[in-house]
């Protein structure tokens, strides 16, 4: 397994390198990072030319790319194009925030989806099953920004009606969040609405996977054998059926986790959360290629790692899978 993982990681390196090259080319060719400066009052052409030259923007994009690549080992991800501030601390910060959001949303989604999927499968064609199916498709098709806005409106309407603010509708923390446990509780309080908004799609998705695989498992021979041996239905479900039915759902969840770490752009924007998605959109608007490249590299690495984890977990849960 170790050799397999190592081989997968090594294969990922040229993939990431190619992705960064293409994105660097796309960003530098399609946008002028000094555009905002050119609109500034009193800016002179000499100033613009000086910045362009000093930052190497007058060089072909592949020269700029090579400079960026060779700077990574010595300078991390370097500084922003115009302001002399390092990029890495900002990326660390937004990664941490997104991680909190994604972990909470995925845990919630996983727990709810497994419950819904299992009960739906056990009670196939019941009212509960139909209701869950309907709600799942609703969750699939509903734009997340719309659902987020509706949640915000509900909270504001409750505030109008009762004077009680149940949940904050934006930001990661209060103005004075306190320290220790108070800070943690404040953060959880602020994450409730974003987590629900982010989890709703995952719940819809995972519960469908869970239902399908559960249906397959509960009709399999070994489950029938367990019943014939007189095991209790609850034990059959939890110990024999669910354990195997979870395999595809866990794989999907692991893949999804990596993708979500690239940032739930819409949710982070609507709720004003300082996460990976919002950071990417902000830097894209500024046309600064260096933070965009840093972001892309980090996201590519995360996705590669979580894809690998998904494969390894799959093999761990299903011993029939062997790695060559």
Q: Which of residues 197-226 bind another protein (CB under 8 A)?
A: none
One of 17, 18, 26, 38 touching another protein (CB under 8 A): 38
Please tell me the distance from the alpha carbon of residue 209 to that of residue 248, in angstroms, as a whole number: 7
Nearest Cα residue to 81 out of 55, 45, 47? 55
Candidate ranges 34-42, 250-258, 293-301, 309-317; the one touching another protein (CB under 8 A): 34-42
Residue 13 or 170 having the CB closest to another protein: 170
Residue 9 or 170 having the CB closest to another protein: 170
- Strand ranges, E, within the chain: none
Taking CA 274 as the corner, what is the angle to CA 261 and CA 25, rounded to the nearest 5 degrees? Answer: 60
Count the residues of the shown chain that bind another protein, applying the rule CB under 8 A. Answer: 76
Residue 102 or 304 having the CB closest to another protein: 102
For residue 311, report the phi and psi dihedrals to the nearest 5 degrees: -65, -45
The answer to whether 131 and 120 have CB atoms below 8 angstroms apart is no
Taking CA 166 as the corner, what is the angle to CA 164 and CA 131, rounded to the nearest 5 degrees? Answer: 130
**Interaction pattern, residues 239-278, with another protein; x per rule: CB under 8 A:** x--xx-------------------------xxxx-x---x
Query: Shortest approach of another protein to residue 89 CB, angstroms?
Result: 9
Which residues between 95 and 114 bind another protein (CB under 8 A)? Answer: 97, 107-108, 110-112, 114
- What are 86's strand-pairing partners? 79
For residue 59, state whether it binds another protein (rule: CB under 8 A): no
Query: Shortest approach of another protein to residue 12 CB, angstroms?
Result: 29
Please tell me the distance from the alpha carbon of residue 259 to that of residue 317, in angstroms, as a whole number: 22
Which residues between 149 and 208 bind another protein (CB under 8 A)? Answer: 149, 152-153, 155-156, 159-160, 163-175, 185-186, 188-189, 192
For residue 230, report the phi and psi dihedrals to the nearest 5 degrees: 90, 15
Candidate ranges 3-11, 146-154, 217-225, 305-313; the one touching another protein (CB under 8 A): 146-154
For residue 83, state whether it binds another protein (rule: CB under 8 A): yes
Contact partners, residue 296, CB within 8 Å, separation at least 6? 19, 20, 23
What does the buried/exposed string (b/e) look like for 186-202 if buried means 16 or more CB atoms within 10 Å of the residue's CB? bbeebbbbbbbbbbbbb
For residue 88, state whether it binds another protein (rule: CB under 8 A): no
Helix axes 88-122, 180-218, angle to 10 degrees: 40
One of 16, 36, 72, 135 touching another protein (CB under 8 A): 36
Candidate ranges 2-10, 126-134, 148-156, 221-229; the one touching another protein (CB under 8 A): 148-156
């Amino acid at each position: 397994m170790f050799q397999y993982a190592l081989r997968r990681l090594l294969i990922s390196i040229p993939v990431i390198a190619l992705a960064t090259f293409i994105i660097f080319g796309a960003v530098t060719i399609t946008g002028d990072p000094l555009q905002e400066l050119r609109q500034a009052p009193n800016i002179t052409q000499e100033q613009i030319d000086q910045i362009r030259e000093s930052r190497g923007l007058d060089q072909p994009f592949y020269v700029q790319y090579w400079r960026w690549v060779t700077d990574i080992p010595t300078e991390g991800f370097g500084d922003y194009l115009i302001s002399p501030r390092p990029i890495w601390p900002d990326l660390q910060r937004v990664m941490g925030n997104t991680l909190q959001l994604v972990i909470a949303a995925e845990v919630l989604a996983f727990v709810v989806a497994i419950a819904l999927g299992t009960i739906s499968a056990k009670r196939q064609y019941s009212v509960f099953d139909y209701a869950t199916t309907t709600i799942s498709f609703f969750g699939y098709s509903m734009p997340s920004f719309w659902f987020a806005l509706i949640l915000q409106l509900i909270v504001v309407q409750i505030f109008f009606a009762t004077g009680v603010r149940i949940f904050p509708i934006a930001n990661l923390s209060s103005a004075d969040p306190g320290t220790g446990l108070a800070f943690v509780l404040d953060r959880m309080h602020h994450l409730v609405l974003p987590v629900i908004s982010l989890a709703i799609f995952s719940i819809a998705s995972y519960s469908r996977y869970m239902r399908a695989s559960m249906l397959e498992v509960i009709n399999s021979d070994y489950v029938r054998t367990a019943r014939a041996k007189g095991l209790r239905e609850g034990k059959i479900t939890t110990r024999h059926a669910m354990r195997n039915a979870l395999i595809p759902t866990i794989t999907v969840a692991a893949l999804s986790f990596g993708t979500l770490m690239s940032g739930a752009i819409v949710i982070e924007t609507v709720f004003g959360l300082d996460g990976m998605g919002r950071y990417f959109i902000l830097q894209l608007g500024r046309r600064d290629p260096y933070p965009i490249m840093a972001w892309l590299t980090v996201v590519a690495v995360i996705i590669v790692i979580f894809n690998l984890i998904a494969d390894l977990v799959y093999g761990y849960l299903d011993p029939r899978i062997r790695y060559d």
